[in-house]
Amino acid sequence: MKAPKINITDSAVFISDLHLHDNAQNAIFLNFLKHSSNLTKNLFILGDLFDYWVGDDARMYSKELKALKELGEQKSIYFIHGNRDFLITKKYFKENHITILNDETRISLGHHQVLLMHGDTLCSDDLDYQDFRKKVRSKVWQDNFLAKELDERITIAKDLREQSKKLNLNKPENIIDVNETTINSIIEKNFPVEILIHGHTHRQNTHQYNDKNKFTRFVLGDWNDNQGSYLIWKEEQGFEFRTFN
Ligand code: MN
């Protein structure tokens, strides 16, 4: 396997699942961006930064993007699409000094080989969701959606969000969590990765695997009205979860 293109030697910060819309998280996020410039030069946003994205032309979240753009002039900001904001284009984010990476991107942090994902593909037991994902990630669906009037797109996005909330209420907890077999096969496919960092499930935790494959899985926490959460890696101290408000 090719060596990763992103090699970080000093520090990095990872966040996901902020689900920004017009809520209290937005103010916390703006503060966090200021704060993060003292923490690291490398910020990774692993999806669902925004609660929905209906097309670049909607010019949504201008305040947040302006702050990201300013930060991106001095720092490296990377983004992986989540299941809510997968319609953001590489071109649009590039204008805002953010680099979009593929889901399943391998990077190195010091001597660690690390795999980054949003995490929705790990929930492979949720067949309804995986079917839905296949549909909305297709060019046909996206072209059709983006051709609609803005108002209609916003209505559809909100409907989809409500539908998914309702569906998840009726699903057993294990169905909407990650599938361990899928995780193991992704680790094997990305050998010699020994750390997986993802979000999506909103179940912040550190999972240590010592069976067939030896690796660590960090699940990023979500953000709420009172606080944000992030994972920081520093060359000297290693990994640590922290909260911010
Ligand atoms: Mn998600």
Cα–Cα dist 136/150, whole Å: 17
Percent of the chain scored above 70 by pLDDT? 99
pLDDT at 177 over 70: yes
Residue 1 within any structural domain of the chain: no
Q: The domain that contains 72 carries what CATH number?
A: 3.60.21.10
Q: Determine, yes or no, domain membership for 3.
A: no
Q: Round to whole Å and give the CA distance between 197 and 156.
A: 31
Residue 79 lies in a domain: yes
Contact partners, residue 62, CB within 8 Å, separation at least 6: none
> Residue 14 Cα, ligand 1 centroid: separation in angstroms?
15
In a domain, 202, yes or no: yes
Kindly give the distance from the C-alpha atom of residue 119 to the centroid of ligand 1, in angstroms, as a whole number.
Answer: 7
Residue type, 65: L
Gap from CA of 1 to ligand 1 centroid (Å): 28
pTM across the whole model: 0.96
Distance 208 CA to ligand 1 centre (A): 22
Supply the range of the domain harboring residue 75. 8-244
The token pair that represents 53 in the structure block? 């994205």
**85 C-alpha to ligand 1 centroid (Å):** 9
pLDDT of residue 2: 66
Cis peptide bond N-terminal to 192, omega within 30: yes
The Cα 74–Cα 40 span in angstroms is 11
Number of independent structural domains in the chain: 1
Measured between alpha carbons, how far is residue 88 from residues 27, 73, 96 in Å?
A: 22, 20, 11
Span 200-235, pLDDT tens digits: 999 999 999 999 899 999 999 999 999 999 999 999
Query: 4 pLDDT exceeds 80?
Result: no
Residue 163 alpha carbon to ligand 1 centre in Å: 14
Distance from C-alpha of 165 to C-alpha of 133, rounded to nearest angstrom = 15
Q: What mean pLDDT is reported for the chain?
A: 94
Task: Give domain status of residue 185, yes or no.
Answer: yes
Reported as a single tens digit per residue, the pLDDT across 110-154 is 999 999 999 999 999 999 899 999 999 999 999 999 999 999 999
**How far is the centre of ligand 1, averaged over its atoms, from the C-alpha of 118 (Å)?**
7
Q: For residue 123, how far is its CA from the centre of ligand 1 (angstroms)? A: 10
Strand order in the sheet with 228-234: 98-101, 76-80, 42-45, 11-15, 228-234, 238-244
Q: Which residue has the higher pLDDT, 126 or 164?
A: 126
The phi-psi region of residue 55 (left if phi > 0; otherwise alpha if psi is between -120 and 50; otherwise beta) is left
CA of 104 to the centre of ligand 1 (A): 14
For the residues 49-59, what does the mean pLDDT come to? 94
| Residue 84 falls inside a structural domain | yes
* Residues in Cβ contact with 204 at an 8 Å cutoff, skipping those fewer than 6 apart: 219, 220, 221, 222, 229, 241
Residue 153 within a domain = yes
Which long-range contacts link 141-145 to residues 24+ away (Cβ below 8 Å)? 142/87, 145/55, 145/87
Local structure of residue 20 (DSSP, 8 states): B
Residue 1 confidence (pLDDT): 58
